[in-house]
Each structure stands twice: as structure tokens, then as C-alpha cells.
Amino acid sequence: MIQKPSYLDFDKEAYGWKPNIDYKKHPELYRVGKGEQGVLICEPYKSEIGQFWRFKTKDIAEESSIKIFDVFLAYLLKNDFVGADMARKYLQMGFTRARRYANYKGGKKYDKENEYLLLEKGTGQEEKAEAAAIFYSKWKQAENNEQYAQMKKDWKNRLG
């Protein structure tokens, strides 16, 4: 069976995150979801955090991951779970996107010109693997933060 990218059958209406919601004013509408879901939609957090998200080189990834982790901690100090979770998602996305560029030339996983067949793995850039490792470390540091873990558990129990 040919595995096609999930975005081909994406259902915007059914997606739990909406671009027209201010999640700072209406945090009760935020859902944790799986992985990085909502990270490129939930405002104002997307704008607040996304401006720091970079992984082009190891040094850039280091600077970016430190800044985003600092933002994560700042949200925790404000007891802003949505902001902290979004920062955690950007750290995770730094890892996954850098890994994709490490694995596939140009970060392209599927060949859209050839029925979305999976492209050859191992054609990417080694420096992106180093960037991915940096983001992975910060992502896991955020996930293992005790305050964040408790806030996430409470949030999921209350709101999903």
C-alpha cells in the first residue's frame, strides 16, 4: 500500500484548532491534541513563539531552542498552560522538521510529481541532524518539567 501524506485529505472543518480564535482570550477552547497539532494556527502564540523558530544550522538551532525554552519557562511563570504547550510544540517541531531535512534532500518526503511516492531517505544534510538533536534535547527538557507535566495532566482532565 502506498502511504500518502495526511495533508492531502485534510479536513479543515473537523480540525480542532481554528485560526480565528484568540487562544489567550479563550484558553478554554484550546486542546492539547497529539504532537504538534495546532502549532501553526493558535494565535497569538503562533506569532509570539514562531518568530524565534529556526533550524538552518546547528548554531541557529541552539540559539532558537534556548529562546523558545525561555519563552516556555516564562509562560509557566504566568501559569499560562496554552503558551507553555505551544512553546513545547515549537521545540518538538524544531526536532521533527530538522530531522526531515536531515533525512530528505530539501526536506521533501514525498514526490508529488509521481503519485506522492516516498522519496529516498538518507539524501539530506548532516548539519540538520545536529540541529534536530539540539531541539530534541530542549523538547524533552520541556516535557519533563514537573510544573508543565502537572498542568498538562490537569488541563487534559478538565478540557481535553
Averaged pLDDT, 35-64: 95
Percentage of residues of the chain with pLDDT beyond 70: 81
pLDDT at res. 53:
97
Backbone angles phi, psi at 101, to 5 degrees: -70, -30
Q: What is the pLDDT confidence band of residue 13, given thresholds at 50, 70 and 90?
A: confident
Query: How much is the pLDDT for 72?
Result: 98
Q: What is the mean pLDDT of residues 74-80?
A: 98
Query: What mean pLDDT is reported for the chain?
Result: 87
* Full-model pTM: 0.86
Check residue 105 and give its pLDDT.
73
- pLDDT given at position 123: 62
Band (pLDDT 50/70/90 cuts) for residue 33 is confident
HEC-encoded secondary structure of the chain = CCCCCHHHHCCCCCCCCCCCCECCCCHHHCCCCCCCCCCCCCECHHHHHHCCCCCCCHHHHHHHHHHHHHHHHHHHHCCCHHHHHHHHHHHHHHHHHHHHHHHCHHHCCEECCCCCEECCCCCCCHHHHHHHHHHHHHHHHHHCCHHHHHHHHHHHHHCC
Q: Quick: pLDDT tens for 86-139.
A: 999 999 999 999 988 787 776 666 656 666 655 566 665 778 899 999 999 999
